[in-house]
Structure 1
Amino acid sequence: MRSAFPFACLLLGLGVGGFIDGIVLHQLLEWHHMLSGWYPADMQANMVADGLFHLLCLIFVMTGIALLVHAAPQAPADRGRRAFGWMLAGWGWFNLVEGTVDHLVLGVHHVRAGAGQLAYDLAFLAVGAGFVAIGTLLGRHRAKAPG
């Protein structure tokens, strides 16, 4: 039986990555909102969409926590580092999927609309790919037993 530990941590990373995106890019920097590419002047629609986005992030986090509690008996001895790795990978997958679908395919919004928007969108994807690579290495690599 495979442990749900990596999947639980990936879900946590997806949710946390979404929260960081929403808090930093939507609220603090005000670079975009969920529907700002489609409805740039409709703040009510954007606020509702941002709220639904954060609700989805909360569902990911809560589901990840529930799975993590269930997986605790099978968690590896070096679970702290490995959990961080899988969460980082989950954040990276958030960037890759959200960046590809919302930014490039649908044009729902861009990381930062205007001059250089493609560069911002590609940088978002590159950071995501880096997080997936580093996180997966940390998550998969078992620590050597002492002695």
Structure 2
Amino acid sequence: MGARGRSMAAAALIGAAVMAAVDEIVFHQILGWHHFYDRSTPSIGLLTDGLLHTAELLGLVAGFVWWADLRRRGTLAGGHAWAGLFLGAGGFQLFDGIVDHKLLRLHQIRYGVPDLLPYDLAWNASALVLLAIGAALAVRAARRSR
């Protein structure tokens, strides 16, 4: 993997970790809509939120160490890194929306509402917007680096 790919991958790790943090802080803690794993006791739900928080922090640290190393070596490709950030954030969001919410049914976006469809559509649509931005930035970065 070349410098462009490493720049994109490091930033994608940061993007996924940032989106996990937004999910965990906003939807798990502030709004209290769900826990990471809601198919057990509230204590288990809280434990799984802590494990998700641990994973996101490890992802942030690893991603920023990788990013800093690329920068120190003078090989960080800024355009590719921006693309990776959005691709990582959108990828996490879409994975969570489809795999965690629907396939594995670890949790739903929100409980106690008559219809989950608007929440699911908004969740996955926001993921697709982030992915589209990341893809557009990746194409732009590739064109500029020729």
What CA deviation, in whole Å up to 9, does each residue of 1:76-132 have, x standing for no partner? 3xx2x6533321221100011111111010111111123221321232111101101
- Matching residue of 2:105: 107
Give the whole-Å Cα distance in 1 for the aligned partners of 2:121 and 2:59. 25
Distance 1:86 1:65 in 2: 13
Task: Return 106-115 or 9-18, whichever deviates more.
Answer: 106-115
Greater CA drift, 135-144 or 86-95: 135-144
Match of 2:36, SS state, is coil
Greater helix fraction, Structure 1 or Structure 2:
2
Q: Find the aligned partners of 1:25 and 1:118 in 2 and give their Cα distance.
A: 17
Aligned-residue RMSD, C-alpha: 1.9
The separation in 2 between residues aligned to 1:88 and 1:144, in whole angstroms, is 18
Listed as ranges, the matches of 1:1-147 within 5 Å are: 2-3=2-3, 4-36=6-38, 38-39=39-40, 42-72=41-71, 73-76=74-77, 79=78, 82-113=80-111, 114-142=113-141
> Which piece of structure 1 moves more, 101-110 or 9-18?
101-110
Aligned-residue identity in percent: 30
Change (3 A) 1:140 1:71: farther
> Matched residue of 2:26: which SS?
helix
Give the superposition deviation at 1:8: 0.2
TM-score normalised by length of structure 1:
0.85
CA distance in 2, matches of 1:141, 1:129: 18
Report the number of matched residues: 139
Q: For residues 43 and 83 of structure 2, what CA distance do their matches in structure 1 show?
A: 37
What is the rounded CA distance, in whole Å, between the counterparts of 1:123 and 1:107 in structure 2? Answer: 18
Moved over 6 A (4+): none
Aligned residue for 1:141, secondary structure, equals: helix
Q: Give the whole-Å Cα distance in 1 for the aligned partners of 2:137 and 2:115.
A: 33
